[in-house]
Amino acid sequence: MFKNLNIFPKILLSCFLIAAIPLAGFIYQIYLNEADQRTVVEQRMTQFAEVIGGEVDNWVDKNIRNSNFLASMDAFKNMDAAAQVPVLKVAQENLEWVSLIFVKDLNGDAVARSDGKALRNYSDREYFKQVISGQKIGQQVLIGKLKPVPLHCFAIPVERSVGQMTGVITQCSTLISISDDITSSKIGVSGFAFLIDDKNRLIAHGEQSGKLVGNLQDFSSHPALTLADGSVETLKFDGKDRVFVTRSVGPGWRLIVQEDYDDAYENYLKAKSNALILAVITVVITLLLAFLISYSISSPVKKLTEIADAYSKGVFVDNVVGQDRNDEVGELAKAVSRMAKTIQMAISRLRKVKKG
């Protein structure tokens, strides 16, 4: 098919292919870099999640260690309420993130509180039921009874001896402290973290001010909760592509880090966009130059062909185009001009012979 084309499309197509082949390789390399960029994004977001997750784990560990320390004291083992109260007050004063520490008997009745407020029955609390049922640690995110703010409560059994439970010690902390840590942590321009409890309720969010309202928002339908622990995926959320990574933290919680796809892959998208712009510019310039080169060759060749055809019919022109060129086309034009003069001289001699 190529050999049946005229000289103009042949030259045009050849010039385009010469430029297009290396350009295609360049664009292909840009797309190959997407995998490398994905690895960079995954590592960056995973490391961010590990740092924030470590802070959450440390926060949880501090609560548990403090509760275990108190539970090991004789005042708690013997359920001596009078001796417990001053210890609880000192513990709360020295732990700024703690809002309340209190001890309950096996019926759920509070026997001592760090804040000195009225003693109540807490047998309906999930964390109490978990410990009474035999779990080593009970935990629950809830709205406080005396003050309607979100609290996270840890509960552990108090034992006089191994297997002999005498009560339950509970330590409650407002989630503002941990929420402030998450709120102050950012990744990139649009990236942040948020924390979901074991019932898929929001307990800390990187885009909020750090003050949680008096209810716990249900996040069960959030698409990131479908991801495997530690996986990094791009999902559509609120009409935008966002990159998510999840990490299990604390007592069955999920830490989720998100960043807008355009921000996470900014460098790759810029390189890709620049490559496409370069491709368009190169194609346009290549086609323009190919057209000019093809036209500069094919046009005079076509005219010389027409002149030669006219000569074959006995029609001669005085000026053969292209003789001023210094390339092969110019040589061809000069040859055609000489051929015309030769033919005209031969015809003139024949005419003279006939007249003679």
Q: What is the pLDDT of residues 14-52, one digit of tens each?
A: 777 776 777 777 667 667 677 788 888 899 999 999 998
Assess whether 78 and 151 both reside in one domain.
Answer: yes
At which of 159, 174, 189 does a domain end?
174
Question: Which tops the pLDDT comparison, 251 or 79?
Answer: 79
Lowest mean pLDDT among 45-59, 183-197, 216-230, 232-246: 183-197
C-beta atoms surrounding 272 within 10 Å: 17
Whole-number pLDDT of residue 267: 81
Joined tokens for residue 309: 């055809």
In CATH, what number is assigned to the domain containing residue 300?
Answer: 1.10.8.500
Domain that holds residue 148: 72-174
In CATH, what number is assigned to the domain containing residue 108?
Answer: 3.30.450.20
173 Cβ partners below 8 Å, 6+ apart?
Answer: 63, 97, 98, 99, 151, 152, 153
Residue 314 within any structural domain of the chain: yes
Whole-number pLDDT of residue 252: 86
Assess whether 78 and 168 both reside in one domain.
Answer: yes
Kind and range of the H or E run holding 10: helix 7-71
Total number of domains in the chain: 2
- Is 0.85 topped by the overall pTM? no
At which of 111, 145, 174 does a domain end?
174
In angstroms, the CA 322 to CA 341 distance is: 16
In angstroms, the CA 65 to CA 59 distance is: 10
Assess whether 276 and 346 both reside in one domain.
Answer: yes
Does the pLDDT value for residue 286 go beyond 80? no
In angstroms, the CA 243 to CA 241 distance is: 7
Q: What is the pLDDT of residues 168-209, one digit of tens each?
A: 999 988 777 677 777 677 888 888 888 888 889 888 776 654
